[in-house]
Amino acid sequence: MKRTIFAAVIAALLPSFAFAADWPERPVTIVVPAGAGGGTDATARMLADRLRDKFGVPFNVVNQGQGGGVVGINNIKTADPDGYTIGVIYNFAHYAPMGQADFNASDFTAIAQYNFDPAGFNVRAESEWNTIGDALDAIKAAPADYSIACGGGCGGSWPIAAATLFNEWGVDLSQVRMIAGQGAAGALQDMVAGGFDVVPTSVPEAGALIQAGRVKSLAVFGSERLAAFPDIPTLSEQTDLDLSLGAWRGVVAPVGLDAEIAAELEQAMSEIVNDEGWQAQMTERGFGIQWRDSSTFADFMASEEGTVREIVATLGL
């Protein structure tokens, strides 16, 4: 009887071992929870080309940006964890507390983070604020007196970065006026015209207006100054806050992915992110590079989930 049970267990396990050893035998789908042409799509396609070269099968990008990315992220979560559906994920912790979706960091197998683009704190060129400290002190003293543009929805990466900074500075978030809109470009134009006091975005998004002398960015929310904007200081240069806040992207798979397949994907991602040609391509396209391995990336997503959800609750979004 014992021999029969043992043989049955071994027989049940053998197919999964063989499956992992043979992967990939056919094309792999990369779900991108964003429309074609944007940054998430562009970086996913760069990864797809290199993953194809490494594994010898096509890695096909499928754009699923419906519902602000909810459709795509949910399809990554619910896919068969067979290694043939993976996805690019980005700042997503705000969806659940805002009632837009039901997914958590624990719903995914983290493979690796490959990108981080720090937020910038943009104000009108004629603003009386010349440092990030000036702005934060003024907003802390009278948070309801100033308008902060969210660009798109107020749960997005840029407004959440600003709200996190305000919270760290001791600003009463319940009094902050954060206003949703139709995108960063429109919000920046509205600010220049006097409609907003602050528009948090990536610095490149404000680059043309900065170069035209109509906008000034008081700080970049990263550990280093940006090569393309060397005159904009970091938060840590001006304050005692050591924060890296902004938009990030990484590769994940559904929970239950075979550990050997996950390890192969992680190793491939490590080789890609450390490749000088890929780094040059990312830099030329204006994308920052941030490496986190699977374990560190999983911890990062879980930590950010807690922080963002606390911020969303305080803002009353």
In this structure, is the dihedral angle defined by the CA atoms of residues 202, 143, 235 and 218, taken in order, positive or negative? positive
Residues 6+ apart with CB under 8 A from 155: 94, 95, 98, 100, 312, 317
pLDDT digits (tens, 9 = 90+) for 221-278: 999 999 889 999 999 999 999 889 999 999 999 999 999 999 999 999 999 999 999 9
Final residue belonging to a domain, choices 216, 238, 260: 238
Is 277 within the bounds of a domain?
yes
Q: Do residue 129 and residue 228 come from a single domain?
A: yes
Domain endpoint, select from 238, 264, 286: 238
Global pTM value: 0.85
CATH number of the structural domain spanning residue 35: 3.40.190.150
Same domain, 81 and 131: no
- How many Å apart are CA 72 and CA 172, to the nearest integer? 35
Q: Distance (Å, rounded) from C-alpha 43 to C-alpha 31?
A: 12
CA distances from 241 to 9, 133, 198, 216 (A): 54, 11, 20, 21
- Domain holding 104, by residue range, is 25-117+246-315
> What DSSP state is assigned to residue 156?
S
| Residue-wise pLDDT tens digits, 7-19 | 455 545 555 444 5
Distance from C-alpha of 10 to C-alpha of 192, rounded to nearest angstrom: 68
Q: Is 35 helix (H, G, I), strand (E, B) or coil?
A: coil
> Based on the domain organization, do 110 and 137 belong to the same domain?
no
How confident is the model over 287-300, as a mean pLDDT? 96
18 part of a folded domain: no
pLDDT of residue 8: 52
How far apart, in whole angstroms, are the C-alpha atoms of residue 145 and residue 141?
9
**Are 104 and 142 found together in one domain?**
no
For the cut 80, the answer to whether the pLDDT of residue 2 exceeds it is no
